[in-house]
Amino acid sequence: MEFTKEEKQKVAHLRTRYPDARSLTLPLMWMIQKREGYVSNEAVDLITEELDIPKIWVDEVRSWYTMFSEEQEGKYVLEVCSNITCAIMGSQDIIDHICKTLKLKVGETTADGMFTLKTAECLGSCGTAPMMQVGDDYYEMLDEEKVNHILGDLGKGKKYEQQPQEWVEYK
């Protein structure tokens, strides 16, 4: 595994930003996760080599932060908020419904590799609970019918109705 030419430029830019190479661990890991969808062992090696820091520093960052995954996940990762506000507004029903519909358990990926179901801690969208996040999109005020629509549309490779916002890439 290697960094692309474009990524190398970004790395060079990031080096000017921080006085210390170790600070680049998270940004580089983001870069790889964005490209590969997860952070493999080879990716850990690559970052270790690039930054010339002990491997354990990189390894522990990968396992400690919840946003980095060590395994390939589904094309769409459904993160259903299970925190208190969503819970009292019925998130468990949403989770059960997704499990039933997709025939999986929390933490699992469907056989066709389309969906991974996860629960998340508060995603800061409590005014419109229950909610879930898929990639960069929030889906709020969920009920079973809405979930069916979302899963149906995503399964066909399109976003639920239209979600026209396209986030600028993180700099």
Site string for another protein, 21-50 (x = CB under 8 A): -xxxxxx--x--------------------
Sign of CA dihedral 92, 94, 95, 99: positive
9, 55, 57, 149: residue in contact with another protein (rule CB under 8 A): 57
| 8 Å CB contact between 44 and 31 | no
Instruction: Render 68-137 in DSSP notation, one character per residue.
Output: --SS---SEEEEEE-SHHHHHTTHHHHHHHHHHHHT--TT-B-TTS-EEEEEES--S-GGG-S-EEETTE
Binding to another protein in span 94-153, by CB under 8 A: 120-129, 131, 133, 136-141
9, 66, 72, 148: residue in contact with another protein (rule CB under 8 A): 66
The residues that touch another protein, with contacts defined as CB under 8 A, are 17, 19-20, 22-27, 30, 57, 60-61, 64-68, 83-85, 87-89, 120-129, 131, 133, 136-141, 161-165, 167-168, 170-171
